[in-house]
Structure 1
Amino acid sequence: MKARAILLPFILLACTDSAAPSSDQGTDTDSEGSGTDEVGTETESESETDSDTGTDTEGTPVCGDGLQAGEELCDDGNDVDLDGCNSDCTPTGAVVWQVDLGVDGFDVAEGTCLATDGATVYFGGTLRNGFSTVGGFLSALNLDGELLWTHTQTAPINDCITTSMGPVVVSYIDEGLALHDSADGTQVWQANMPGAWHPISVADDGDSVVVITVSPAEMYRFGLDGALLDSANFSVPASDSQANVGVGPDGSVYVSGTDDDTGPFFVALDGSFEQQWRIDLPPETVLPIPTHAVGSESTWLSVSREAGNAAVLHEVSFAGEELASHVIDSEVAFDLAIDADHHVLIAQFLSSIVTKRGPDGAVIWTEALEGIPVAVDAVPGDLSVLSLELVDDLCRLTRRYR
């Protein structure tokens, strides 16, 4: 998911060379499952179970019988997800693997993006030497946490999105975007935004990618072959680094950012970049900028009040109607993601935690991080959670059970 690219140099945290993933299975779950004998009895009716070992007559573990056996990491006796022990007998929110990432130098992580098949996670960032930017890097890992390749370049990577052709990244220094080969990271093509600078956010709409720039504020649409398809001036005078873009299931483009004159905003544009609606919010944010995530049913927007007083989550329909709002006191929400079940994942900056909340805003689980959270994402299929954090002199990517 997208991270706040320009703000991260102020964090002054670094990454080191990549390391092998470590596993921590079921050690950091916050909630406890509440099993029921009734469900366990139903399971046994399908396969006769040894009540002492938690296995069937053939020695295969029976998930949901209340007895942990074999490769089960937990078994609370029911088939309910997100109650501490999921229906596949994996502990809610527990670490699957953890890997420290980066390349030589003082490197800043910018964000993650998942391949369209959900089998690869891409990780991009900035190569730094002290306070000087010297380049960028893009790495690919499989869902076992194994590093597949790392590509380095002379310009930093500020955002990435995956397409059917491979990962597309943007860089505000070389004023362009580039498609990389998913097999080895080599650059396939590079395109530049004419007459604009600082491309800061990119989104995929299936057949093309949408890029927003600042100074001036422009929207661009590029084909997956790098050809410029459309462009339009963006009517909101967003200041440097203060806009994020996402594409909805109907092709609408959603932009959140900060207007220099009026404060935080959230705007929906149609496929031709014509404004459909706009929401202006109280001018209370300072750092970081508003961020949003687009789901299959609605969008979620986070606005952090001045001095970290609170993070306010707004659920907004695709028609621009506010459906709900939730306040997280003394917090800054640095990144959001929405999984296939419409749960909201939040990287909470001040308390260094990752949380999962239900569609009603209620906390499902909370997991503490050692460093500062940068990005969060949801893996399609198994709905596991990826979080990226900066820990002292390294960048840490963690995969957790849903």
Structure 2
Amino acid sequence: MSTVPFDLSLSVRNRPITVEDYRKRARRALPTMVWAFVDGGAEDEITLRANRSAFDRWRLRSRVLTGHAGAGLSTKVGGVDLSLPVFLSPTGMTGLTHWTGERGAARAAERAGTRAVISTASSYTVEEIAEATAEDHFFQLYPWTSATTGEPLSKKFIGRARQAGYRALFVTVDVPVAGNRERERKYGMGIPPRMTPLRVLDGARRARWSYHFLTKQRISSRMLVDERGAAAAVRSAKAQESLMRPDLRWDDLARIRDWWQGPLYIKGILDPDDAEAAMKLGADGVLVSNHGGRQLDGARATLEALPAVVDRIAGRIPVYLDGGVRRGSDVVKALALGATAVGVGRPYLYGLAARGEDGVAHVLEIFREEIERTLTLMGVASVAELDRTHVYQAPPT
């Protein structure tokens, strides 16, 4: 049973019971330009859609009369025991969605018995999030270097995360340049953002969002620009573009491995050769990800890429997945195909936009309930039992 409190003003009919319900509520809560940032992808959004449709191409094996009254959902990520095989993937400038941002999301993850991966582009610093939470979370690193001074910002950020108590490092490697996110640009979320009277009016119509936007001003990447407000957000967005590394090579990742002595995961892997290279580098795991369809449009869906990566790794290090996960049954399919756990990004942003920290906690409880129900209906006692014998490819239509 969920322990997440509901707003008593909501009728039973209007209470969200699925991630899609939260998505609809988030769309109503956010200005169109912010919604484009949260829900949009790159160019024609082929990969964005493919991440979802890939799950439809798999069916679940169902066995009856197995005598399993419950389902074991625990797993381990970053050396931490999680009560369900779902964690929060990193999302940047989350304060645009709700002023509590990554701080509220991390607290919600703790309530659900899991962890959050905090982005380098977070709306709160790693220190602020550590002070506001009871558990040690994980840090996501963009391997940036200052274009003007040549300073390895990666080393600086790693030091701060280590000092603040973060347990594992996820290094994102699929952003050598920013993806061409045309929906964002169309609705004004370019660099700098383009405001028009209609866009200002659209924001004003979302009174709660506008109030927090003006009073809390948690809209910049605080690890880069430790200031609040719209001007700081523009400066941090411009800084991110200038710090990106199209010349990054595996040797650069080897240095990061030397700087970080804890569990290290490479995020943004789609090709088995890259998974092999990451393992040889000393990575403790890989995260199969295409940045939620926000980078290379036309790249493989993550679930499509997962089996080949799992086969190449052959159990030597764990493989995780994010991208397109919206249902507990999606989680089960990914685990059956070899993932140890999955990350969710947009689903928790939907919950955050709709109901703040409580919304994120409830989204995670929805995943928990759906995973438990799916496993019970399949006749499977635990996520640890899942393998490829539990899924079938759907016949072509």
Task: Please indicate, yes or no, whether the TM-score normalized by the shorter chain is above 0.5.
Answer: no
Q: Which one has more relative contact order, counting CA pairs under 8 Å at least 6 apart? A: 2
Q: Which has the higher strand share?
A: 1
User: What is the TM-score of this pair, normalised by structure 1?
Assistant: 0.27
Q: TM-score, normalised by structure 2?
A: 0.27
The structure whose Rg is larger is 1
Pick the structure with more helix per residue: 2
